[in-house]
């Protein structure tokens, strides 16, 4: 069982988070750099606890960053934004937070919460609310299973903190948070939701932080032994490699603010055997001919064939040699309530969800 | 007449060109003191052609010397960095992502100050002159003169960087200051890294450029000389001393521009085979396609506009490993030689299907270590000579090589090149492939996905030719208020400015072309401000 995160773990976690990102979730580069810097400066490690170690009545909160990547790459954070938002919510509620929870294990937001945990002297819970990456705030198990989005807090580099004490829905939280983020200079720290230990335990997807680390370690091990990592990674996630080949076409368009598109991969030995993958920030459906081999919320990730590094949908281009990993979603994403929010129909596809056998973990 | 020189890590190449004709060319080893190698190359190329040094109109030098200085951690000046952006940016101080050895060499002297801008032009915080003065005093006390200044969103608004530089100069009059806005684009760490590297290379740049000048003086060449930049245009010697980082990618750029010139093609894939690596790049409209992602130099991330190249460990000096899987524990350093008896007889089980070429290479020692040069290491060059595709060195030294191995190595090399070429293509349509570089003999067959393979004359010195034919450029990068001017008037004004600068830099007015126009509207600024960047290039007068 994972006890802590040290400098030795961050590379593996970043690689694993990239693979769980299903093509989205943003780059892990800056957050890993920040976490490493913080771990070096403070020494020591981020304590990791199991969801079931959290008392029912304790208070925990999920945290993450909000904003445009172009802005966050230029106006780097002051660093204590999220910590101040956590402290402000503690003051507001007159209660202390017991542990930090990862909102999204896929991509860059997997690493940010560990920085906050280190700064606050709190442990981070081994788990998250997506088991992958999704584009919107309401697409997580905390919201799907009815936890309240309020109160939530947003904070900037100047020390400003805004707390929303009441909010109608997760969708409204998303809209308000987004416009305030612009005023805050285009990037902000977000704490949402704040919840009881009991609520967290009823809704969280357990052990995804250790899974990310195991995936990353397996990739690093394969690299050290000059083995292509795809099969090993798929097996770790109860999934399979459904295709290997070369990207032969990438067709993108922007629809309602989302980067939608479709890519085609040709098998190495036969150009006409092709897989098509539809994406909308994340990879959503993988087809060969008319047959859907994998559909959201099951995980579809492209990894570079030789080094196993996940390929984000923004970096797709002709000629990349890839393996397509299909991994079953965690069971929490496959209930009727969850599928209404994160199933194929929620993304505009008139397709039934055809689940892969098994669960992510 | 003009002379193009390419100073690579291994060889210094020179060509003498009369208009578009290559009059003579030479290849000599690069020397530790680069100007000696240049002097030798110049002497050879002039003697070879029998011309009078006075008839030379210009000397164009492309060099990877500054890139190598960073990669090899040599000749770097300790540099301080001032970053304006407080209270933001504290979480990742300057040089945080540098390899530790390099940061130690450069000194890691970093300071944060108030200032910087938001993405929409608002100030993050007010500029504080006294704070900068205090920092400058500290830098002075630490005995540093090389200083890089960065400010958040300075590519949009550079005033805080400029004001800081003025204050630092009032404290340290002979300070060597690089502003990040003069060098890079949006992306604070990468742009700041480039600015710091620029300042830490300036002393070396001054020495090196003076050395070039001395080499020319020695041969009584009085014509102006230029250094080639990342984008394939030239800068004069004084400018090169100020901005050495702008030469970082001039090697691949020159090779691709040279390939375009030699082949007459403007759209093609260029395969540059060297001694250790093969670089594959893409020509679009005669210029290299630019990389979209961050580029690492010596382990440091930067965001220069660099040619998008893909490198594989394949070159004339690449080691041949016939049984990579059967020798899994072989340590690096030992190499297979002809003493390994199995190379001389037909391989039984499994054939040569697993043969590995590179990435290890004898590099610049090729002419001592390869079998055909009397050495004892089996290299890619040896195999090509054995196959009778090339005739260099002593062919008898490789006459016993197993024919099956030779065929397998040739096939493996072509497969490696084909995969790399395919990676760089933007569509499945076959495209012409131009092969250049000293290791071009390795390309012996067809390349899958290539419509044709062109090995132009003078392919070994394409780099030097690329330098020789380089043009001069001028840029305008200004913020225009579209409240006072129409958009067309502003664009015309910017184009005129860029063209004038190209002419001032030495371009023949009639040859000047606008090659790049970029407009960035700056929201929330009074007066409908737009940043307009225009680049003009033209041919050197008289060349």
Walk along chain A (361 residues) and give the pLDDT tens digit of each residue: 899 999 999 999 999 999 999 998 878 999 999 999 999 988 889 999 999 999 999 999 999 988 877 788 899 999 999 999 999 999 999 999 999 999 999 999 999 999 999 999 999 999 999 999 998 888 999 999 999 999 999 999 999 999 999 999 998 998 899 889 889 988 899 999 999 999 999 999 999 999 999 999 999 999 888 889 999 999 999 999 999 998 888 887 756 556 678 999 999 877 789 999 999 889 999 999 989 999 999 999 999 988 899 998 878 877 788 999 999 999 999 999 999 999 999 999 989 999 999 999 8
pLDDT digit string (tens) for B253-298? Answer: 999 999 999 999 989 999 999 888 899 999 988 888 877 667 788 8
B525 lies in the same domain as B409? no
Write the residue in A33, A318, A321 that is nearest to B92 by C-beta: A33
Maximum CA extent, chain A: 64
Q: By the 8 A CB rule, do B455 and B443 touch?
A: yes
Q: Is residue B382 part of a domain?
A: yes
B179 lies in the same domain as B300? no
List the beta strands (DSSP E) in B195-277.
225-228, 233-236, 268-273
Q: Is residue B220 part of a domain?
A: no
Q: What is the pLDDT of residue B522?
A: 58
Token pair in block for residue B126: 């007010």
Is B423's CB within 8 Å of A33's CB?
no
Q: Ramachandran region of residue A62, left (φ > 0), alpha (ψ -120 to 50) or beta?
A: beta
Residues of A in contact with B419 (CB under 8 A): 321
The chain A residue lying nearest B153, using CA atoms, is A74
Q: Is residue B292 part of a domain?
A: yes
Is B425's CB within 8 Å of A73's CB?
no
B414 lies in the same domain as B521? no
Options 1.10.10.10, 3.10.20.30, 3.30.365.10, 3.40.1610.10; CATH for A4-206 is: 3.40.1610.10
Residues of A in contact with B187 (CB under 8 A): 73-74
Smallest CA–CA distance, residue A346 to chain B, in Å, is 33
SS3 content of chain B, % helix, strand, coil (to 5): 35, 25, 35
CATH number, position B176: 3.40.50
Q: What is the pLDDT of residue B542?
A: 66
Token pair in block for residue A312: 């984000």
B173 lies in the same domain as B96? yes
Q: Exposed, middle or buried by CB within 10 Å (0-12, 13-18, 19+), for B356?
A: middle
Q: How far apart are the first and last CA of chain B?
A: 6
Q: Find, among B233, B221, B131, B290, the residue nearest to B467 by Cα.
A: B233
Q: Residue B411, SS3?
A: helix
Is A70's CB within 8 Å of B124's CB?
no
CA distance A123 to A47: 5
Q: Find, among B131, B87, B141, B86, the residue nearest to B109 by Cα.
A: B141
pLDDT digit string (tens) for B73-102? Answer: 889 999 999 999 999 999 999 999 999 999
The b/e string for B194-226 (b: 16+ C-beta within 10 A; e otherwise) is bbbbbbbbbbbbbebbebbeebbeeeebebebb
Is A74's CB within 8 Å of B423's CB?
no
B153 lies in the same domain as B298? no
Residues facing B80 on adjacent strands? B109, B147
Smallest CA–CA distance, residue A71 to chain B, in Å, is 7
Q: What is the pLDDT of residue B324?
A: 57
B442 lies in the same domain as B525? no
pTM of the predicted structure, to 2 decimals? 0.85
Residue where a domain stops, chosen among B455, B489, B517: B455
The chain A residue lying nearest B293, using CA atoms, is A315
pLDDT digit string (tens) for B298-343? Answer: 889 987 777 888 888 898 889 998 775 544 333 333 344 444 444 5
Smallest CA–CA distance, residue A313 to chain B, in Å, is 14
The chain A residue lying nearest B92, using CA atoms, is A34
List the beta strands (DSSP E) in B159-204.
176-179
B386 lies in the same domain as B273? yes
Residue where a domain stops, chosen among B141, B176, B198: B198
Is A157's CB within 8 Å of B423's CB?
no
Residue where a domain stops, chosen among B455, B484, B511: B455
B396 lies in the same domain as B424? yes
B334 lies in the same domain as B438? yes
Which residue intervals of chain A bear CATH 2.40.390.10? 228-347
* Domain count of the fold of chain B: 3
B271 lies in the same domain as B314? yes
The chain B residue lying nearest A38, using CA atoms, is B91
Q: Find, among B536, B523, B529, the residue nearest to B487 by Cα.
A: B529
B111 lies in the same domain as B176? yes
B448 lies in the same domain as B479? no
Which residue intervals of chain A bear CATH 3.40.1610.10? 4-206
- H helices within chain A, ranges in order? 10-20, 29-42, 69-74, 81-93, 112-120, 141-144, 170-183, 197-203, 208-224, 230-236, 336-342
CATH class of A228-347: mainly beta
Contacts A–B by Cβ distance under 8 A:
83
Task: Tell me how crowded residue A58 is: count the other CB atoms within 10 A of its CB.
Answer: 17
Q: Is residue B58 part of a domain?
A: no
Domain span at residue B491?
Answer: 471-538
């Amino acid at each position: 069982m994972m006890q802590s995160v040290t400098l030795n773990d961050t590379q593996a976690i970043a690689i694993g988070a990239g693979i769980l990102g299903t093509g989205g979730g943003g780059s892990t580069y800056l957050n890993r750099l920040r976490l490493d810097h913080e771990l070096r400066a403070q020494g020591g490690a981020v304590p990791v606890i199991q969801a079931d170690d959290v008392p029912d009545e304790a208070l925990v909160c999920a945290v993450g960053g909000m904003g445009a990547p172009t802005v966050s790459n230029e106006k780097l954070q002051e660093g204590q934004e999220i910590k101040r938002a956590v402290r402000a919510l503690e003051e507001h509620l007159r209660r202390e937070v017991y542990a930090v929870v990862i909102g999204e294990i896929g991509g860059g937001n997997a690493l940010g919460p560990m920085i906050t945990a280190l700064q606050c002297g709190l442990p981070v819970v081994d788990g998250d609310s997506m088991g992958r990456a999704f584009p919107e705030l309401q697409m997580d198990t905390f919201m799907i299973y009815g936890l309240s989005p309020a109160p939530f807090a947003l904070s900037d580099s100047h020390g400003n903190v805004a707390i929303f004490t009441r909010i109608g829905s997760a969708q409204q939280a998303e809209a308000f948070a987004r416009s305030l983020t612009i005023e805050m200079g285009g990037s902000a720290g977000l704490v949402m939701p704040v919840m009881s230990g009991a609520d967290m335990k009823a809704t969280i997807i357990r052990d995804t932080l250790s899974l990310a680390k195991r995936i990353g370690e397996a990739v690093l091990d394969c690299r050290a032994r000059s083995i292509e990592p795809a099969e090993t990674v798929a097996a770790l996630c109860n999934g399979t490699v459904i295709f290997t080949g070369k990207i032969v076409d990438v067709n993108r368009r922007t629809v309602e603010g989302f980067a939608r598109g479709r890519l085609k991969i040709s098998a190495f030995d036969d150009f006409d055997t092709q897989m098509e993958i539809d994406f909308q920030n994340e990879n959503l459906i993988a087809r060969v001919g008319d047959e859907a081999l994998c559909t959201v919320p099951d995980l579809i990730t492209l990894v570079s064939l030789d080094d196993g590094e996940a390929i984000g949908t923004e970096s797709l281009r002709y000629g990349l040699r890839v393996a397509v990993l299909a991994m079953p979603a965690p069971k929490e994403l496959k209930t009727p309530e969850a599928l209404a929010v994160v199933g194929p129909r929620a993304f505009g596809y008139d397709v039934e969800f055809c689940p892969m056998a098994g669960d992510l973990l | 007449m003009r002379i193009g020189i390419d100073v690579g890590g291994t060889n210094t190449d020179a060509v003498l060109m009369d208009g578009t004709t290559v009059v003579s060319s030479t290849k000599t080893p690069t020397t530790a003191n680069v100007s000696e190698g240049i002097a030798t190359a110049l002497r050879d190329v002039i003697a070879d052609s029998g011309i009078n040094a006075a008839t030379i109109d210009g000397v164009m030098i492309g060099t990877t010397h500054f890139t190598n200085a960073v990669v090899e951690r040599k000749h770097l000046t300790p540099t301080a960095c001032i970053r304006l952006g407080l209270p933001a940016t504290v979480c990742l101080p300057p040089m945080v992502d540098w390899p530790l050895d390099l940061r130690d060499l450069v000194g890691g002297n970093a300071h944060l100050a108030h200032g910087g801008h938001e993405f929409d032009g608002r100030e993050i915080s007010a500029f504080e002159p006294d704070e900068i003065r205090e920092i400058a005093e500290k830098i002075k006390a630490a005995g540093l003169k090389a200083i890089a200044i960065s400010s958040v969103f300075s590519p949009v608004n550079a005033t805080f960087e400029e004001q800081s530089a003025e204050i630092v100069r009032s404290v340290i009059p002979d300070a060597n200051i690089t502003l990040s806005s003069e060098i890079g684009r949006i992306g604070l760490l990468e742009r700041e890294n480039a600015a710091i590297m620029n300042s830490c290379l300036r002393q070396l740049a001054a020495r090196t450029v003076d050395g070039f000048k001395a080499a020319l003086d020695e041969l009584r060449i009085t014509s102006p000389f230029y250094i080639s930049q990342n984008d394939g245009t030239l800068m004069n010697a004084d400018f090169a001393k100020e901005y050495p980082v702008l030469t970082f990618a001039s090697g691949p750029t020159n090779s691709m521009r040279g390939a375009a010139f030699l082949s007459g093609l403007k759209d093609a894939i260029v395969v540059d085979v060297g001694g250790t690596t093969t670089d594959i790049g893409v020509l679009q409209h005669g210029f290299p396609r630019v990389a979209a992602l961050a580029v690492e130099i010596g382990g440091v991330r930067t965001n220069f506009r660099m040619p998008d190249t893909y490198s594989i460990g394949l070159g004339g000096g690449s080691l041949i490993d016939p049984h990579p899987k059967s020798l899994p524990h072989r340590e690096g350093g030992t190499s297979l030689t002809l003493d390994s008896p199995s190379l001389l007889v037909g391989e039984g089980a499994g054939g040569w299907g697993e043969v590995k070429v590179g990435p290890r290479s004898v590099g610049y020692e090729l002419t001592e270590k390869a079998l055909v040069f009397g050495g004892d290491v089996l290299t890619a060059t040896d195999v090509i000579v054995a196959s009778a595709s090339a005739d260099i060195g002593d062919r008898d030294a490789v006459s016993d090589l197993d024919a099956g191995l030779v065929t397998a190595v040739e096939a493996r090399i072509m497969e490696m090149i084909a995969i790399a070429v395919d990676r760089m293509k933007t569509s499945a349509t076959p495209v012409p492939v131009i092969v250049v570089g000293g290791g071009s003999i390795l390309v012996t067959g067809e390349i899958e996905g290539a419509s044709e393979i062109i090995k132009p004359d003078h392919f070994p010195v394409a780099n030097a030719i690329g330098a020789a034919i380089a043009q001069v450029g001028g840029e305008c990068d200004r913020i225009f208020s579209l409240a006072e001017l129409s958009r067309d008037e502003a664009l015309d004004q910017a184009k005129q400015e860029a063209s004038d600068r190209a002419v001032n830099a030495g371009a023949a007015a009639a040859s000047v072309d606008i090659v790049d126009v970029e407009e960035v509207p700056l929201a929330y600024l009074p007066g409908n401000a737009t940043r307009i960047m225009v680049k003009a290039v033209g041919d050197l007068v008289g060349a």
